[in-house]
Amino acid sequence: MNASQWQLFRKQLTQLSQRQRVISSDLLRDGASQDANITVIEQAAQAHLHCPACHSTHFHRHGHANQLQRYRCVPCGKTFNALSGTPLAHLRHKERWLAYAGCMLNSFSVRKAAEQVQVHRNTSFRWRHRFLSLARTDRPHCLHGIAEADEMYVLESQKGSRHLTRPARRRGGKARQRGISNDHVCVLVARDRTGQTVDFVSGPGQLTKAKLHSCLPPVIDRDILLVSDGHPAYPVFAREAGILHEAVNLRAGIRARGAIHVQNVNAYHSRLRQWLRPFHGVATRYLPNYLGWRWILDARRILSPESLLRATLGMFPHLSVT
C-alpha cells in the first residue's frame, strides 16, 4: 500500500459502523497473532531444518505457502516447510496456537480452551495431544544421589473408545472389586532430591519387580540410593539390580529416618492427583501425555506460550535436564 492509498484508507476508517470496526479489529488482531506464530515457527525450525523424506540438509528456498517459507530438497526433489514432519503439520489456524499454548499452561479443560481460542472442542482435544507429543519427552535422562520411588493407582479408563473390552461404567465409577486389581493402572514415579522426576505407566494391577526392571534401570545411576515404602517389590528389584535400597515403614507410622523418607515423591503424587481431578477421568491410552503435561508445569522449564510452541516443534530450553 503506497502513501496515497494509506491516506484514503484512513479516511474510510471513520465511516465504518460499530460492527465493521469490531470485525476490523478482530482481523488486525488475528494478523498480529499469525505473524507472531510464524516467527516462532520459523525460528524453531532453523536449528534442525532438514528434508523429512530423505533427511538431507541440502535444500533451497522454494516460494511461500500458507504464510510459511517452503523449501525444495536437492537430492530427492520433495518440498517441505518448517512444520513438515512435526506434530503440528497439516493443522490450521496458526494464529491461535500461541493462545492455545497459554490455555495449556493454565491447565484449561478441552471445552474451556476451545471457548477461549474459538475453535471446536474436537479441534481443542486434537491440539492438546499434538502439543504434548514432543513436549512431554523433555525429561531427565538420569536420577542421581538419593532417589525416592513410589507407585500410585488410577482407575483404568477407556473413555472415548469405540470398542470397550469390558462393560461400560458411569463417569467416576468404581472398580469391580475392592483393593488394587486389574481395574487399576499403576503409575510409577521416581524423584531425586534435586527435583528431577521420571514417571511410567507400568500397566494394570499391582506393582511387581518385573515392572520395576522394565522402568527404572535406564534412568538411575548405579551408585544411587533408592528409597521406597514397604512394598516387597522394591528390595527384590534393588538386590537384583545391584543398587542400595532403604525402606520406610509407613504403616507403622515411621515417615522418616533422617534423610530416608519418601515425602518428596508423595508430595508429587498429591499434586498430580489434585491436578488430574478436574479432568474427571483420563483415558488410559492418553495417560502418558497427561503425566508429561504435569511435569511441564511442575518443572517450570516451560513458562511461556512461545516456549511451549518451540518445545512442540522439538526445540527445548537450552538448560537441559540431566
Res. 9: pLDDT tops 70: no
Q: How many CB atoms lie within 10 A of CB 150?
A: 22
Res. 222: pLDDT tops 70: yes
Per-residue pLDDT reduced to its tens digit, 248-286: 887 777 777 888 999 999 999 999 999 999 988 889 999
Res. 203: pLDDT tops 60: yes
Query: Cell digits for 81?
Result: 516447510
Look-up of cell digits 499403576:
186
pLDDT confidence of 322, banded at 50, 70, 90? very low
The DSSP letter of residue 206 is: S
Beta strand spans in 156-254 (E): 184-192, 197-204, 225-228, 244-247
Our CA angle for 105, 107, 108, nearest 5°, is 115
Of 31-40, 175-184, 197-206, give the range with the top mean pLDDT.
197-206
pLDDT confidence of 13, banded at 50, 70, 90? low
**Torsion 52-53-59-62 (CA) sign:** negative
43 vs 202, higher pLDDT? 202
177 vs 90, higher pLDDT? 90
Per-residue pLDDT reduced to its tens digit, 130-144: 999 988 888 888 999
Q: Across residues 187-204, what is the average pLDDT?
A: 94
Does the global pTM surpass 0.75?
Answer: yes
Res. 4: pLDDT tops 80: no
pLDDT of amino acid 122 = 95
Distances (CA, A) of 92 to 26, 82, 97, 119, 316: 18, 14, 9, 10, 23
Answer yes or no: are the C-beta atoms of 88 and 312 closer than 8 Å. yes
Long-range contact pairs involving 237-241 (C-beta distance under 8 Å, separation at least 24): 237/209, 237/212, 237/213, 240/209, 240/213, 241/213, 241/216, 241/217
In terms of C-beta density within 10 A (0-12 exposed, 13-18 middle, 19 or more buried), how is residue 181 classed? middle
Res. 320: pLDDT tops 60: no
Answer yes or no: are the C-beta atoms of 66 and 93 closer than 8 Å. no
pLDDT confidence of 24, banded at 50, 70, 90? low
pLDDT confidence of 165, banded at 50, 70, 90? confident
pLDDT of amino acid 243 = 93
- Bridge partner list, 152: 187
Of 40-49, 100-109, 130-139, 298-307, give the range with the top mean pLDDT.
100-109
Query: Cell digits for 10?
Result: 484512513
* C-alpha closest to that of 112 among 128, 90, 132, 98: 128
Query: For 12, what's the count of Cα atoms within 13 Å in the CB-facing half-sphere?
Result: 8
pLDDT of amino acid 33 = 53
What is d(CA 202, CA 211) in angstroms, rounded to the nearest whole number? 6
Instruction: Give me the helices (H) in the chain, please.
Output: 3-13, 18-46, 97-105, 110-117, 121-135, 209-215, 233-241, 263-276, 287-299, 305-312
In this structure, the strands spanning 146-155 and 59-65 are unpaired
Domains plus CATH for the chain?
A: 24-135 (no CATH), 146-159+180-300 (3.30.420)
pLDDT of amino acid 319 = 41
pLDDT confidence of 318, banded at 50, 70, 90? low
pLDDT of amino acid 321 = 41
